[in-house]
Chain A
Amino acid sequence: NAGVMQNPRHLVRRRGQEARLRCSPMKGHSHVYWYRQLPEEGLKFMVYLQKENIIDESGMPKERFSAEFPKEGPSILRIQQVVRGDSAAYFCASSQTGQNTEAFFGQGTRLTVV
């Protein structure tokens, strides 16, 4: 029973390029959360999605960032026109329901913008 799978594990992009981060939740999980962790800082909530719906995107920057969780396939976090400040670890977690259940994390994607 595979856990939460994120890919790529490491991603290098030049300033101005697009970054696409993928997250496949655990089997049977329909809720996905994305978090960003800057060096020496805590986990910052970005967005919470269910299949085909964005439930809470209060942590997403207003520009350049978007997320989706289609009916089929992984959840995607997309960052357009990346800047150096986007360099961080991006973690995805999944849970079976949206409350009162544990969430499990993928190994993260380390994005480096050069």
Chain B
Amino acid sequence: RKEVEQDPGPFNVPEGATVAFNCTYSNSASQSFFWYRQDCRKEPKLLMSVYSSGNEDGRFTAQLNRASQYISLLIRDSKLSDSATYLCVVHPRGKLIFGQGTTLQVKP
């Protein structure tokens, strides 16, 4: 079983749609969690940290369910510029572990 699993997609949605990604992780000792975004094989860029209480940043909402060991990312009112690969990252002590990524394509 992979340490971090994501549905690779692609998710094809129209502009303005709401889309949600989930990610599951296997290491229950994981302490911190993040969502990164990667465009066209460029470097991953931090999108947001994921807190136990959930957090929101504009159109983006991240949630953590420790009991079920999954993390989610919700994007509201999708923009064309949101098209990218979204990477779920789990951080037990030490290394950052990346999921395979979920590809989002927002269509006009």
A residues near B (Cβ < 8 Å) are: 33, 35, 37, 41-43, 45, 48, 55-56, 58-59, 89, 91, 93, 98-108
Which chain A positions have C-beta within 8 A of B32?
A: 99-101
B interface residues, Cβ below 8 angstroms from A: 31-32, 34, 41-46, 49, 87, 91, 93-101
Q: Name B4's closest neighbour in chain A (CB-CB).
A: A42
A45 touches B41 (CB 8 A): no
B94 pairs with A35, CB closer than 8 A: no
Q: Collect the chain B residues with CB atoms within 8 Å of residue A58's CB.
A: 95
**Inter-chain contacts of A56 with B (CB < 8 A):** 94-95
Interface of B is mostly: loop
Q: In angstroms, how far is the closest chain B Cβ from the Cβ of A29? A: 13
Asked, given contacts A43-B98, A48-B95, whether A106 binds B43 with beta carbons under 8 Å apart, the answer is yes
Query: What's the Cα separation between A16 and B98 when bound, in Å?
Result: 31
Bound-complex Cα distance A23 to B100 (A): 24
